[in-house]
Amino acid sequence: MPAPDLPSYSTLLNTPPASLQQMLSKFKSHRDTLTSKIVALRAELSQATIERDTTDNAILELCSALSPIHRMPHDILYEIFSWMIPDGWGCQPAPWYLGHISHSLRMAALAFPPLWAQVMLRDHHGVRDLSRSRSRLAEHLLRSGNSLLTVNLSWSEKSSPGTGLLLEMIVSHCVRWKKLAFTVNGNAFDFEHRMAAAKGQLPHLHAVHNISGRTIPLKMAELFLVAPKLHHVLLNDQGGSLLFPWKQISRAYFEGEFTCWLRHLPQAHNLQHLVLNLESEAEDPSQRVLLPNLRCLKVSVWGLTYVTAPHLEYLKAAACKLPEALAMLLRSECRLKLLCIRDSRDVGPVDVEDLVSVLRAVPTLASFLFTALPLDDDTDWYDYELNDLFIELAARDAASGQFTLVPHLSTFVFGLHQNPFDDEAFATMAGSRMAAPSPHRLARLVIEDVHDSAPIASALAIEWVDAEYLETVGDEYF
């Protein structure tokens, strides 16, 4: 309906009021009609927009379903993405297959040198086509550009002269090595001879991992002695002849027999993080070592008797070695902040009295993790009697009202595969500590979510965590 015509303003001034009122009514009516039409059109536009977006999404899904990548063989898809998965010290294959998928992926692979910064030599069966292997390795190193390299070398009795030539090619880029992992399972002297060129040529080497294998030749002992950025070593007892600039080492991992390394550790004044995965330990106190700057100590079972660490803040130990842990803590007189006790019922059970003694020795403790081994059908599983532990954790000093055991505890992780609420003392302790004023309040209580909780649990701010996740997450998360 078109709008009514409006006479000129001079005509309106000479028009009788009754006629003007009639004209005004017509225009108001027309405005109402237009307003209704606008509302209807806006609603229609909104609906059309929604339908268009839905249609766009459907088109995207159809196009995605038609994409060739969804029809690729699984082995090709694996090759595309496998190199992106972290694998500790292991090197992932270079993204060779990216160049065979599409032009854009090939350009991406060639334009990003860090994708080629992991180099492996794991030929245990000899080199069948030396020319092809050398060309491939040369192209790999060329594509890595100036990126620092992570190198993984595996040397065996079956390593052929051709493998040795490939090793020499990798060693020729030793100035770019950032991480080096190697294992020698045979023909060690040939390996040592070819690695000799790297001596004194490791300006960017940060970490060395001697995985396993036979004893390292003495002539290779000084290979890592001059490496100004080296600060992280992972070693087994077969590498006991190797020399390192211990004064600059800040992180270390040892496995097997430890005595071959003890004579070096007094030099490691800057060692801050130490992991011991040993087969046994000596009882000789003269073999103890003072580590003045050690902040973190993780011990699988054996090794607590070796260490004195006055500035230790984080300790992880086996439950069967609580007396040794107590002795180490008393000897160190440290202000521990985080304690992780790992259930080791395959070696020995938890002694609650010993555990309470350990907790009493660390009044500065802020985080206590009580974790378990992964569930195993071969493990003789049973629940511990922990009522006395929970009673001690709930006890208060009569005069001050403060908790007598670890009064500053703010995080408690209960990761044993048993229900803590089966003990009434646990619910009492949790409620008491979580209601305490700061700085003595238990702010974080973490429990496996496989347990049925007591009614009081609904009133507590409990963090329920999947048992498998609790086993795999790093302790530092807490």
- pLDDT per position as a tens digit, 120-137: 887 655 556 778 888 989
- Three-class DSSP category at 246: helix
Question: So what's the pLDDT on residue 89?
Answer: 45
Least confident of 41-50, 91-100, 106-115, 310-319: 91-100
| Amino acid making up residue 244 | F
Peptide bond into 217 cis (omega under 30): no
Which helix (H) or strand (E) covers residue 134, if one does?
Answer: helix 130-143
State mean pLDDT over 116-123. 84
Highest mean pLDDT among 48-62, 84-98, 414-428: 48-62
Residues contacting residue 13 through CB under 8 Å, at least 6 positions apart: none
Instruction: Determine how β-strand 118-121 pairs with β-strand 149-155.
Output: parallel
> Chain-wide mean pLDDT for the chain?
83
DSSP code for 207: E
Question: So what's the pLDDT on residue 6?
Answer: 82
Question: So what's the pLDDT on residue 214?
Answer: 59
Asked whether the beta carbons of 366 and 478 are under 8 A apart, the reply is no
Query: Tens digit of pLDDT for each residue in 386-418?
Result: 889 999 999 888 888 788 899 999 999 988 888
Assigned token pair, 409: 């505890």
Assigned token pair, 391: 């009673």
Asked whether the beta carbons of 315 and 338 are under 8 A apart, the reply is yes
| Amino acid making up residue 446 | V
Report the share of the chain in percent with pLDDT over 90.
35
* Residue 401 phi, psi (nearest 5): 80, 0
Give the separation between CA 174 and CA 148, rounded to whole angstroms: 9
Q: Is the pLDDT of residue 152 over 50?
A: yes
Closest CA to 384 of 339, 429, 411, 414: 414
Cα-based distances in Å from 13 to 24, 377, 437, 439: 14, 102, 82, 83
| Amino acid making up residue 312 | L
Give the separation between CA 210 and CA 429, rounded to whole angstroms: 47
E strands, 145-300, are 149-155, 177-184, 207-213, 232-236, 251-256, 273-278, 289-290, 296-299
Query: Tens digit of pLDDT for each residue in 21-61?
Result: 888 888 888 899 999 999 999 999 999 999 999 999 999 88
The structure tokens 């429990």 sit at 447
Give the separation between CA 254 and CA 298, rounded to whole angstroms: 11
Q: Is 303 left (phi over 0), alpha (psi -120 to 50) or beta?
A: left
Tally of CA atoms within 13 A in the half-sphere of 265 that contains its CB: 29
Give the separation between CA 17 and CA 19, rounded to whole angstroms: 5
Query: Tens digit of pLDDT for each residue in 221-234?
Result: 788 999 999 999 99
* Residue 282 phi, psi (nearest 5): -90, 155
Question: So what's the pLDDT on residue 356?
Answer: 94
Give the separation between CA 167 and CA 170, rounded to whole angstroms: 5
Report residue 317's pLDDT band, with 50, 70 and 90 as the boundaries: very high
Question: So what's the pLDDT on residue 385?
Answer: 87
Asked whether the beta carbons of 187 and 155 are under 8 A apart, the reply is yes
Residues contacting residue 80 through CB under 8 Å, at least 6 positions apart: 95, 97, 98, 101, 105
Report residue 256's pLDDT band, with 50, 70 and 90 as the boundaries: confident
Report residue 80's pLDDT band, with 50, 70 and 90 as the boundaries: low
Highest mean pLDDT among 181-195, 202-216, 263-277: 263-277
Question: So what's the pLDDT on residue 359?
Answer: 95
Asked whether the beta carbons of 297 and 321 are under 8 A apart, the reply is no
* Helix and strand counts by DSSP (H, E) for the chain: 13, 16
Asked whether the beta carbons of 213 and 191 are under 8 A apart, the reply is no
